[in-house]
Chains A and B, each alone.
Chain A
Amino acid sequence: MINKDLSIDFLGVHFENPFCLSSSPVDNCYEMCAKAFDEGWGGVVFKTIGPAHFEVDEVSPRFDELTKEGTPFVGFKNMEQIAEHSLQENLDDLKKLKKNYPQKIVIASIMGTNAQDWEDLAGLVTEAGADMIEMNLSCPQMTSHEMGSDVGTNPDLVQKYCEAVKRGSDLPMMAKMTPNITDMIPAVKASLAGGADGIATINTVKSIANVDLDKKVCLPIVNGKSSISGFSGKAVKPIALRFIQQLRAAAGLEQLAISGIGGIETWEDAVEFILLGSTTLQVTTAVMQYGYRIVEDMKNGLMHYMEEQGVDHLKDLVGLANKNIIPAEDLDRDYKVYPKIDWDKCIGCGRCFISCFDGAHQAITWDEKSRRPSVDYSKCVGCQLCNLVCPVGAISTGKIEMKPGRKGDPSKVDIESVRLTH
């Protein structure tokens, strides 16, 4: 079995591996975190701790899932608030975790209703022995506007609360940002101005996943009614990756320290977050669906990836993709690449023909007798939709051609990718 060092430093704290549980029901108490550590997680962001005076009062049921064809949990909608255990129980758990797992990283997620709360909570979790603080500025289902994701969209409040936390504690601190915003950069800059050392993102995306057609209300139904609430899991990964890329591409934020969150489930997802600039990773929904054991394949798969890439230190992978993602107006538009169809692999389903006709440029002709497709080069625009829909990988990228009147060497055009070229 392969064994490679996955350790990495983040905000001056040493993680034995980058995989952490994000703040949520998956790390709600001591026993859960202890089991997760035993199964190999590098750190936990303990379920968000609120002030003693804030009363948590949860609804039931509280979850919904988006499915597609036979696949469950494409996305996951939740209506939870923050920790339901008492402040003292939570602080005791943090202390015990740090005592019994000194080499693992315990991060306290906190949320206050005003600056004084934030400052006090920061002090309390520091006394309890946490290694780091995460400020939850992003929960979309709080019952008060002084708390949750509304705060995260207001740069002035963000800065004020960050300053409060820094008054209460000198621990490294990350601000957890909401994706329910068009541009995250002002809020991030405000948090840094307020003293944050890094960013965690994303929290859940405000959503309605399904509507009950008889009751005419979205799910889950809480005694006849329901609410907009946070969406997570695989479906939000593209949104999370987009925010992380935009942050790292912003002037002055090129080296921003990020803990990446949103839909991570496999080692490949994890690598994507790292390549876009995340140093550590956080997971909830995949753990709710499959359990802590998924970390085994994430760690092992990441080790194999590092081996393939000839990389011995995980930090050498952080942000490697950032520079290759450029504004759309700067892309090379001088060529097109035709699809190539392998008739031996083709099983004659005709999906490429249908998609090209109905969704592209009517460039595939269909031989009814032999049930085989052919490309009509006079019509094909090179979008490669056919390639994506073919169920057996019979279509790959073929000949590359410069558009009429454009200059360039087609043999130098780089479109190589496992997804398209097979």
Chain B
Amino acid sequence: MTNDYTKENSGYTMTTVAEEAARCLLCHDAPCSKACPAHTDPAKFIRSVRFRNFKGAAETIRENNALGSICARVCPTEKYCELACSRSGIDFPIDIGGIQRFVTDFEQKVDMHILKKGKSNGKKIAIVGSGPAGLQSAVTLLEKGYSVDIFEKNTKPGGYLTYGIPEYRLPSDIVDYEVKRITDMGANIHLDTSIGEDITMADLKSNYKAVILAIGASEAKMLPMFDNNKFTESAVDFLAHVKQTKGKVTLPDNIVVIGGGDVAMDVSTTLKRLAVKNVTDVVYEEFDEFKASKKELAGTRNAGVTIVDGYIPDKVNGNEVTFKHRKIDSKLTIKADKIIMAVGQQVNPDRLGITIEHGEVPFIGYRTEDPQVYVTGDIAHGDKTVVWAVRKGKEVAEEIDSVLGGSSND
């Protein structure tokens, strides 16, 4: 593995992908396909690879998952398809993400255009937020003949795909290409436009048949004791800055990270890839209750990050933080040149007229009390991952279509 922030691991070649596909047992009623939240149907596309039908494999992925190249790279497969894989009964699961990446790279190389806009039904839908959920709902609606306008408060589309997940795991070129497929299909994305500020919800509702809120949890949570501490930056601000500059940032030698989820792992690994000498990650949970995925945790440890588990911040004085252990009587003081806070993200629903509790709407489903307004993505009930955002994007579009009655009268 290279330590360069912008360098992605190399993928399969034609020969090596055939070897990996040959490991697949081509199961009947395949467990992997049943375990994919977005119904990307890995068993079917792996079978196509086995029978050298790479274009058919690309069709299966793309038609089920408009963000197939992205999911191939960032999906926590160990929790979904690969967890279910029958091959584990022999040795270890098929590298489904890797095969998917090969196929979608192939699709890009031969420039296939699989997604097709449906026959127009004259109905317009507004989508707030251009993260994965907003993008997927746009695609499913376009396929059904709706026209869609996406409003995004940031300067670039993609939500956390563009401003969160580090370059070495998800190159911006890939995100740009995925977004381009969707704009080529006919989605209009209005950038630098914040709903609730630049345009009101009332305006949207009067101009569109339905409004989908796909705003994600795009703001950082902070611990109150770090308010106004000039050494402290939030994880999402830090990751956004590094990704936008493609790693061209100057950093001090000694940085402490607070938090133990995947975001903290991304921050810590990114720091190491940017050659920061001392990176210490202090985590509330103990190792056996860790939130971060095993893969992310292993990657972080391999990168040389010092991880201290079971400690919570107790006192902060400038750049000196004192932590205390949750169970044993023990304290730890660390002096750092910079403190990065990765203790979670929160939703900002201001002026959008929806209620958020514990990071999501307090009901299961997509339609809110206001029958014209729907939610999807991280703020809807369900896992907070890209593949679930894809699933929820498809499902909210299906629900709108069943309410608005497809191509019937306007």
Residues of A within 8 A of B (CB): 1-2, 70-71, 265-268, 290, 293-294, 296-298, 300-301, 304, 391-393
Contact = CB atoms under 8 A, between A and B. Distances in A.
Contacts of A293: 47
Contacts of B13: 392-393
Contact of B56 (A265, A268, A290, A300): A300
Contacts of A294: 51
Contacts of B14: 393
Interface of B is mostly: helix
Given A290-B26, A391-B15, A393-B14, A304 B55 contact: yes
B301 interface: no
A266 B52 contact: yes
A298 B59 contact: no
Contacts of B354: none
Given A391-B15, A392-B13, A392-B15, A266 B53 contact: yes
Nearest to A267: B53
Contacts of A304: 53, 55-56
Given A296-B56, A297-B52, A301-B56, 9 more contacts: A265-B51, A266-B53, A267-B53, A268-B52, A297-B47, A298-B51, A300-B59, A304-B56, A392-B15
Contacts of B52: 266-268, 297, 301
B51 A266 contact: yes
Given A1-B59, A293-B47, A297-B47, A71 B53 contact: no
A297 B59 CA distance: 11
B63 interface: yes
A71 B14 CA distance: 17
B48 A297 contact: yes
Contacts of A268: 52
A300 to B, nearest CB: 4
B15 A393 contact: yes
A301 B55 contact: yes
Contacts of A392: 13, 15
Interface in B24-57: 26, 47-48, 51-53, 55-56
Nearest to A290: B26
8 contacts: A294-B51, A297-B48, A297-B53, A301-B52, A301-B56, A304-B56, A392-B13, A393-B13
Contacts of A71: 22
Interface string B219-253: 00000000000000000000000000000000000
Contacts of B22: 70-71
Contact of B51 (A2, A267, A393): A267
A297 B15 contact: no
Contacts of A296: 56
Interface in B51-108: 51-53, 55-56, 59, 63
B53 to A, nearest CB: 4
A288 B294 CA distance: 40
